Amino acid sequence: MDQKKLKSIIESILFISGEPLSLSRISKVTGASEEEIETALGFVVEDYSDGRGVVVIRKEDKVEMATSPENAEIISELVKSEIQENLSPAALEVLSIIAYRGPIARVEIESIRGVNCSFTLRSLLMRSLIERVDNPKDSRGYLYKISFQFLESLGMPSVEKLPDFDNLSKDTRIESVLVKEEDGKAPNAETVMENIADESK
């Protein structure tokens, strides 16, 4: 693969991921060899090494995009205000999906919502409303589930006590979104969620 194109692809993957990615995972996604990934990654790191607002950090065989340490104070204020403000509609949607369908992978949440959820998940994690645990089916990924603090804030002994939990936690229309997403034939996820919400009222 052309190195310029591969560099661009790696940059996009790191930006959208929101989590550390192994070189083997990037290789699998791009179809390029790990040697080619190493070379292209070197150019990406170089691009983000001089006064940029985003840096590329690496630990062992994993790599991730992060904000520049020089901007830590401002970023901290943004995150703090996000935590202190009321939950956004997007955060409520993600929280509801995790509450009724968790433990659930980020890719599954995004299949249901149809949009990237990285920032929303980070916000919910920092509010301690959700937890991130290892995915037994994928050692390179994580699952998200409701935290004790979430239950405490609602005064509920367990997630099973959420309204209409038995029906919504097993709704087959959600399964259809996840299954068809794998085949590239996912229905309109927003419509599915709206229908479920209407029926639960």
Judge whether residue 192 has pLDDT over 70. Answer: no
My answer on whether 59 and 94 are in the same domain is: no
Average pLDDT over residues 72-89: 70
CATH number of residue 25's parent domain: 1.10.10.10
With bands split at pLDDT 50, 70 and 90, how would you rate the model's confidence at 9?
very high
In a domain, 76, yes or no: no
How many domains are there within the chain? 2
Full residue range of the structural domain in which residue 29 is found: 3-68
In a domain, 149, yes or no: yes
My answer on whether 92 and 182 are in the same domain is: yes
User: What is 117-142 written as a DSSP string?
Assistant: -HHHHHHHHHTTSEEEEEETTEEEEE
My answer on whether 41 and 104 are in the same domain is: no
Q: What tokens does 173 get?
A: 């229309």
**What is the distance between the alpha carbons of residues 152 and 147, in angstroms, rounded to a whole number?**
9
